[in-house]
Structures are given as C-alpha cells and as structure tokens.
Amino acid sequence: MSREIMQRNIDRAQQEIDNKKEIVKAGRMRQHYHFMAQTGWLNDPNGLIYYKGRYHFFYQYNPYYGFWDYMHWGHAVSEDMLHWEYLPIALAPSEIYDDHMRGGCFSGSAIEHDGKLFLMFTGTTNDGKGFEQTQCIAYSEDGIHFEKYEGNPVLTPPEGVPTHQFRDPKVWKHEDTYYMVCGASRENKAQALLYRSEDMIHWTFFNVLAESRGEWGYMWECPDFFPMGDKYVLMFSPMGAGERTVVYMVGDFDYGTGKFTYHINGEIDWGFDYYAPQSFLAPDGRRLIAAWANCWDWMPFWKDWGPTYKEGWCGSYNIVREVRMTEEGTLAFVPIKELESLRIDAQRQERLVLVSEDKEIKAGDGVSFELKFKIALEETDADRLVLFLRCGGKKKTACVFDFKNAQIYIDRNESDGWSKGISKSDLCLLGKKELDVHIFSDQSSIELFSDNYRNNHSNNIFAGDEQNGITIRACGGKVTVTGIETYGLKECNR
C-alpha cells in the first residue's frame, strides 16, 4: 500500500508540473544556463552522482508553487551538466516518517550498491511531538523509479540530539565499508556524526567526526566529507555562525578511530546566495560541487527569496565548480571546463588603462555573459577599481576592488529595486603582481571569482533585459587591466 501511496503522490505532483511548465518556462527571470526545476520551489542539491553514463541531479523540490513546503526529490540527468533532461520525481512524501506538509523527504545523497542506485534521505514528520527527523533508504533498479525500504527509518537521533536537528546524510564507500556523515546539534553546538555499514541498511554509530565548540555555530547543515590527495575535506553550511554560508576544513582523517582533525579552514563563497553544496566525482576523477543559489530567512543578511515566485518558481543552482587543492593546502573552486562550450561572440583586449572616467565593456548581450581580466597591481596606484554590471536606467550592481582597504565587496542595493546588501571579503594583495577576476552573469545572478578562485561571491539579482550595460572605472588613481576576455553564453536550460 505504501508504494501505491508514493506513486499516487508522484503522479499528482507530475501532473502539476505538466500543467504549469510551459507557463513557468516563459518567466522573464528564468536563468539561461544555470540549473533550475521546471516549476515550483528548489533548494538543496541531493544525490549528485555520475551513474550509468550520465550525471544525476536530485534536488529538494516543492513542485506546486514558488515557496518552500512539502519536500519531494526532483530528478534530472545530463551528459555535460549543462543540458538537462527532467525525469519523473524520484521521491514524494508517503510514509508516517516523511508525510507532513512542513516536512517530507529532506536532503540526502546517492551511491551505487549491488548494481542499484541507493538514496539516503532525511524523513521529516510531526505527529504532535514536534518535528522528528530520521535517516531513510530508497533504491532503484533503473536509476529512475525508486522504492522506499520497508524497514525505514534506518537511523533515529542518538541520545542528546534533538529530534529536529538530525539530518542531511552524505554516504561514501571506503574499501568494503559504507560510511555516512550527517549534521546534528548537541547542547546547542554543531556536530558531524559518523556512521558505518556493511550493507547500506544496518548502520552503527562510529564517532563524532568533528564538532564545534561554539565558534562554528549550533548546527551543521548538509555536511560533506571527501579526500583530496592525502588530506580530507569537511564542508558544511553552519547555522548560527554569522554571515558564513559554507565553510570548509582541510585536515587528516583516521579510519581506525573515525576522527577528523582539521588544520586549515576557509570559505567557499562570501556571497549571499551560496548554500548547501554537495560534492560528487566526475568520471575523469574531478571532485565537483554544486550548491543552492539562495539562503534561508534566518541568515543575518537575508532580504527574501526574490520576486520569481510571481512566475511560479524559485531557486537555481550556482554553476558547478571543480575543487582543487592549492600548494599551501587551501582550496580553490573553479568553474567547470564544460561551460566553455557555451561561449559565443568572443572579444579580446590586451590592455586597458583606467583613470577617473567610465569605460564601457561589451560582453555578449550584457545579460548572459562571461568576463575575464587581470589587474596589473604593479601598474596600479588607485584606491579602488569599480566594475558596474547589469546597468540600466538608474539600476546597477557594483563590484568593488578596494586596494586601499584590502577588500572586495559586491553592492546590490541598487541592483533591481528588490535585492539588498553588500557582500564583503578580505583581499590578500601581499606579494602579488596581479589579481585575476572571472565573472559569470545570468538573468538572475552574478558569480564573481578572484584570487585564483579562492575569493568568490555569488549573489542573486533580478534585473530585466534592459539592464545590460557594463562599465569600469578607477577611483583615486590609475588601474591597468590586462588580458580582457568577454563571451556571450548560449542558452541551454531555460
């Protein structure tokens, strides 16, 4: 009977998608090359995996309208992470442990086991005792149609962990054993709990992989754990850690004890709209991550989720990034090379000397474009370099490189009449001869990468097609910019 209930709920949601997808597709704020759902609300990426020759993206999904509610798992596949085929919904609420209008099938991950595609997800419900979160299993023979394990849930919150603070399992295999890390909170301090299993069904607690003493917040959402060379990386989105949206830690891991000891920490992105990334492996060995291009209302800089709910949708993913280890042990997050296949209308300029007047830059249609350049620091004595993107009328987004105060900040207070806030990060200039800058603009977002992809800002803006101007200026002196490259970007997933 439970299988029939899930299928009935999937069919109902699928009918909603089919009825609305063409109307939603015509929305003027829809992205051109970023991943989106066909209708409704999208948040965390789930179950990212390369399986049977295609990339599978599962995603937190409310297909009914453009707000968070009643979580399903959407599903799409691609050969290049750019052009997507939408498959039937993979999971719908249907059981006592996941069928609640403010709950459902929360975030999780995927792994291949015994030739099948296994999903591990957090079931969230409330039967009058408050929200309860448990870890659950579903599996599929064909990678499309899933069945929930009849013995769910396979894990309940351990002693001392509140029932509503135990979620987001990420699974991997090492030698002959499966491991899983999930986020938790104990005594109002965040933890990443480590479990292990021989069969993906029966799980035992191993150790507290890592934990906060208060400095990293009270709950770690969507933890991920993976090797990089001879080191391991833990990344998570902390609740209660101020403006941090995603933290990474690099250190050593002992499979004998289940303990991770970190030596380096950093942030993947300093923008307002980068949350809950999940990693996965490409067939060529690259470690890739995809994240939700938005944030939650409890974050200190939150404005709101934007006006796209009026078009029947909300949410996209940031461009997929490759994780690379630098010589000093920090991490860089590089846009995937597949994006180069979207380039059109290439323009190049070797050198541009800027003083106080504005210079215009042409990049594609000024809406969907890629822009790269380098700042020659030894030939620069200005206080600031200001790059204005998506300009039109009196609206603009300002990207400021403040050499005097060693900061980058992205100001969206005049972007669209809706967005607010200035995202900031420190700018390390010591010993540098140049600073690299790489920007991706889409209909509703700007992603800026700098300092060899270690200093990144992702911000949503909701600018119309008429906002397509780009200007650049120096303030308080001279700036020399070299190696300017611009490209339009083809539409591939609207």
Positions annotated as catalytic residues are 44
β-strands 445-450, 455-460 pairing:
antiparallel
117-129 burial, b at 16+ Cβ within 10 Å, e below that, comes to: bbbbbbbbbeeee
Longest pairwise C-alpha distance within the chain: 73
**Placement of tokens 């005594």 in the chain:** 187
- Closest among 110, 65, 66, 73 to 91, alpha carbons compared: 73
Residue 288: beta bridge partners? 280, 322
HEC per residue, 122-153: EEEECCCCCCEEEEEEEEECCCCCCEECCCCC
Token pair recorded at residue 97: 């442990």
- Closest among 392, 389, 429, 441 to 411, alpha carbons compared: 389
Token pair recorded at residue 165: 């603070």
**Placement of tokens 């030939």 in the chain:** 379
Residue 77 CA to residue 87 CA, distance in Å, equals 7
- Do 382 and 475 touch, CB atoms closer than 8 A? yes
Residue 457: beta bridge partners? 448
- Closest among 376, 391, 371 to 470, alpha carbons compared: 391
150-166 burial, b at 16+ Cβ within 10 Å, e below that, comes to: eebbbbebeeebbebbb
| Strand (E) or helix (H) holding 167 | strand 166-174
